[in-house]
Amino acid sequence: MKPRPFAYFAPEDVEAATTLLAEYGDDAMVLAGGQSLMPLLNFRLASPAVLVDISRLDELRTTHPIADGGRRMGSALTHSAIEDDRIDDPTGGLLPRVATGIAHRSIRNRGTLGGSLAHADPLAEWPLIMCALGADVQLRSLRGERTVAAADFVQGFFTTDRADDELCVSIDVPALAETHTYGFCKLARQVGDFAEAMAVAIIGWSGDDTIEDVTLWLGATRNRPVVLSRTEQVAVEGVASLLQRDLLAEAVRLDLADVDELGDAHRVQMHSVAVERALREATTERVA
């Protein structure tokens, strides 16, 4: 047995889970799919006194429609459920596409959407995607329920806005309208590896196929997903400029410098390539 001993609880419902979290505070860790936490326990990098196993809470695996075509997705939905689109994906294919690239099927069968968000590994996919989509995270505790924008929830390197007594119960994912296209690029040397660079672009189009707005986020950073405001502006200015590699790379460099994420030339190059490919994919359908 590799983990240190712990007190194990498998609550029957969310209220019982939040009661345990209120009682044990930061002595407790939440075990969802365990695909990050169990290796940490095996290495004894984490040694919680209490483990609250939420894998039996069926209510966290439900999904239902919300306003404007979006969906409320239970936090314990697995990556596989999203990959197989057992969730009525509101994004026109982005969520299944991203899920398919997370680790391997045997990991995706266990790992969960909410677990990935609450773990906030800077290299993980869901924090990036949920920030870019403008998703909201619902947190519940004995004190009540509150909603936080994903971009505010994910605060930094393995750091979130979740208080010790709170459980992430669901994520509200807005729909991607028909007027929008997306592009996603993850660069990794092997199938299933964590990303070396990762970007997602969402482009809104007007009726005559000109770009109206661009949302561009970069993942696989040192801290947290980064919105690339300058590069978005370059992209809005026109498809022609999108294809000017130097212009884009310079904008990405300035955006990264703004948030102290510049890193060495290789990292910047990888980020730029991911951004360019995401933008190209998002424009491919509209621009032959």
Partner 1 sequence: MTEPTPDVHVSLTVNQHPVSASIPARLSLADLLRDRLDLTGTHLGCEHGACGACTVLVDDEPIRSCISLAVACAGRDVVTVEGLQGREVDALREAFAEEHGVQCGFCTPGMLVTCVDILRRGRGGTDDEVRTELGGNMCRCTGYVGIVNAVLAAGAAVGR
Choose the binding region for partner 1 from 4-12, 67-75, 117-125, 256-264 (rule: CB under 8 A): 4-12
User: Shortest distance, CB of residue 189 to partner 1, whole angstroms?
Assistant: 11
Instruction: List all residues 6 or more positions away from 104 whose beta carbon is below 8 Å from its beta carbon.
Output: 191, 192
User: Shortest distance, CB of residue 110 to partner 1, whole angstroms?
Assistant: 5
Q: Does residue 85 touch partner 1 according to CB under 8 A?
A: no
With respect to partner 1, which residue has the nearer C-beta, 37 or 228?
37
Burial 161-180 (b: 16+ CB within 10 A, else e): bbeebbbbbbbbbbbbeeeb
x/- letters, 165..194, toward partner 1 (CB under 8 A):
-------------------------xxx--
Q: Does residue 46 touch partner 1 according to CB under 8 A?
A: no
Residue 243: phi, psi to the nearest 5?
-90, 0
Distance spanning both ends of the chain, measured CA to CA: 57
Mark residue 84 as left, alpha or beta (left: phi above 0; alpha: psi -120 to 50; beta: remaining).
alpha
x/- letters, 51..80, toward partner 1 (CB under 8 A):
x-x-x------------------------x
Residue 207: phi, psi to the nearest 5?
-60, -30
Q: Does residue 27 touch partner 1 according to CB under 8 A?
A: yes
Choose the binding region for partner 1 from 23-31, 87-95, 235-243, 264-272 (rule: CB under 8 A): 23-31
With respect to partner 1, which residue has the nearer C-beta, 7 or 287?
7
CA–CA dist 150, 33 (Å, integer): 20
Q: Does residue 257 touch partner 1 according to CB under 8 A?
A: no
Q: Does residue 161 touch partner 1 according to CB under 8 A?
A: no
Q: Does residue 86 touch partner 1 according to CB under 8 A?
A: no
Mark residue 151 as left, alpha or beta (left: phi above 0; alpha: psi -120 to 50; beta: remaining).
alpha
Q: How far is CA 79 from CA 102, 184, 275, 287, in A?
A: 8, 17, 24, 32
Are the CB atoms for 48 and 7 separated by under 8 Å?
no
With respect to partner 1, which residue has the nearer C-beta, 9 or 153?
9
Rule CB under 8 A: choose which of 7, 142, 257, 287 binds partner 1: 7
Q: How far is CA 38 from CA 79, 109, 129, 133, 143, in A?
A: 17, 15, 24, 29, 29
Sites of contact with partner 1 (CB under 8 A): 1-8, 10, 24, 27, 31, 34-35, 38-39, 41-43, 49-51, 53, 55, 80, 103-107, 109-110, 190-192
